[in-house]
Amino acid sequence: MSIACVLVGHLPLKIELLRRPALQGKAALVVEQSGTQKLVVDRSSSAHDTVVGMSLEKALVRCPHAALIEAATSLYREKWSSILDGLEQRSPIVEDADLGLAYVDLRGLEKLYGGEAKLVKAVVDAVPQIYCPQVGVAERKFPAYAAALQAEPGRAARVSEDAASFLAPLPVTNLPTSWKIKERLLDFGLNVMGSIAQLPFNTMQGEFGKEGARLWRLANGQDDELLVPRQHEETFACEVTFATPTVS
């Protein structure tokens, strides 16, 4: 065991529902201005015909009665930073991968916590349960992320040593790539990761280039990407000395 992926899905919406409990169970869209148009940055499950990244104009065609919430980006980041602070109390190495997505280095901490199960529970408990965190544990980052997607809210899921077998039945839409690439994979009948893993490496590389090679490796559980420790802003105190003017 070496890496835990901590996933807090729909964090902006969860924060907004805590502020606006009357919207619980209703169709809602969190939107923000991007250039000349507004985009959907999060949505409720009731607004299932919309997707994150869609323009507000298109989203309202699909879900015309959705409540609109102006994104409070600084608030989301503040809440997420507080969660990251809690995770850093469990492990000195935490990667802030994205809003609602973090990786925690677990190496060498099992004895400190009295075993693997207690260590993983400490990671789960580091996140307020109102956010329903999902935690995945594996030897590499992508399998850990895939496990987090499968975990029940407030629980952890662990990947077996055979990561490729764990990943095989999972949909290719879980791969970290553009929607355009995912659509092409689906058009080729590659619906699950196992179908990619069974292809010859050269076939995926030839059809999708470098991205195809990367996805083939991920589908086979091969992820050598290292954790990038969270960066903290440092403040420096500057001593300013004022010269005493002399009078001649």
pLDDT band at 54, cuts 50/70/90? Answer: confident
Closest CA to 15 of 132, 126, 121: 132
Show the tokens assigned to 176: 């970290």
pLDDT mean over 179-196: 93
Higher local confidence (pLDDT), 42 or 240: 42
Do residues 150 and 165 touch, judged by C-beta distance below 8 A?
A: no
pLDDT band at 56, cuts 50/70/90? Answer: very high
Q: What percent of the chain has pLDDT over 70?
A: 93
> Is the per-residue pLDDT at 241 higher than 80?
no
Q: Is 160 exposed, middle or buried (0-12, 13-18, 19+ CB in 10 A)?
A: exposed
Q: What is the pLDDT of residue 234?
A: 61
Q: What is the pLDDT of residue 1?
A: 58
Q: Would you give the DSSP letter of residue 29?
A: E
> Is the per-residue pLDDT at 242 higher than 60?
no
Q: HSE of 205 in the Cβ direction (CA atoms, 13 Å)?
A: 7
Higher local confidence (pLDDT), 156 or 237: 156
Q: What is the pLDDT of residue 247?
A: 47
Show the tokens assigned to 201: 């490496």
Lowest mean pLDDT among 1-10, 21-30, 214-223, 235-244: 235-244
> Is the per-residue pLDDT at 243 higher than 60?
no
pLDDT band at 160, cuts 50/70/90? Answer: confident
* 14-50 pLDDT tens trace: 999 999 999 999 999 999 998 899 999 999 999 988 8
CA atoms of 72 and 38, how far apart (whole Å): 14
* 61-84 pLDDT tens trace: 999 999 999 999 999 999 999 999
Q: What percent of the chain has pLDDT over 90?
A: 82
Q: Is 107 exposed, middle or buried (0-12, 13-18, 19+ CB in 10 A)?
A: exposed
pTM assigned to the model: 0.87
> Is the per-residue pLDDT at 238 higher than 80?
no
CA atoms of 153 and 227, how far apart (whole Å): 24
> What does the mean pLDDT of the chain come to?
91
